[in-house]
Amino acid sequence: MKSTTRVKLVQKIYEKTNNPDGSIDFGKDPFVRHIKKVFKGYFEKNVELEQLLNDNLSDKLSIKNLDILLKIIIKSSIYELKYCNKIPFKVVIDQYLDVTDKFYGNDQKRLVNGVLDSAAKAIK
């Protein structure tokens, strides 16, 4: 799986977040089953993911101050770390860092890396 698949996943979650009543077209992708699994799990486990994100943020940051897209990136990666056991943590983290890089700069990439490292240790 490539980070482009996860970019598509993040975009679909963002689309659903901004238009909850709209239908989502996942299109064709060799990993569409994985995209749909994480997409569905993201919304089903949202409260738990929100808590894990909050627990792994530094004391200097508030979840309320995070951009919606950044929250989606972090929460979907936390979902994969916790519920997609066949994918190594390092692969998940590296690919979501690539996703972050496509949307943001290095400051956010460092933030995502720190949160995911912390979350991965908590999940293990």
Instruction: Report pLDDT digits (tens) over 59-71.
Output: 777 777 889 999 9
**Residue 7: pLDDT band by 50, 70, 90 thresholds?**
very high
Q: Which of 3-7, 44-48, 68-72, 78-82 has the lowest mean pLDDT?
A: 3-7
pLDDT score at 63: 76
**CA gap 99, 108 in Å, rounded:** 11
Digit-coded pLDDT (tens) for 89-118: 999 999 999 999 999 978 899 999 999 999
Whether the per-residue pLDDT at 14 is higher than 80: the answer is yes
The CATH class, in words, for 3-123 is mainly alpha
According to the model, what pLDDT value does residue 106 have? 80
What pLDDT, on a 0 to 100 scale, did the predictor assign at position 71? 95
- What is the spatial distance between Cα 38 and Cα 42, in angstroms, rounded to a whole number? 6
Dihedral angle of Cα 115, 118, 119, 121, to the nearest 10 degrees: 160
DSSP string, 12-35: HHHHHHH-TTS-------TTHHHH
* Confidence bin at 82 (pLDDT 50/70/90): very high
| Percentage of the residues of the chain whose pLDDT score is greater than 70 | 98
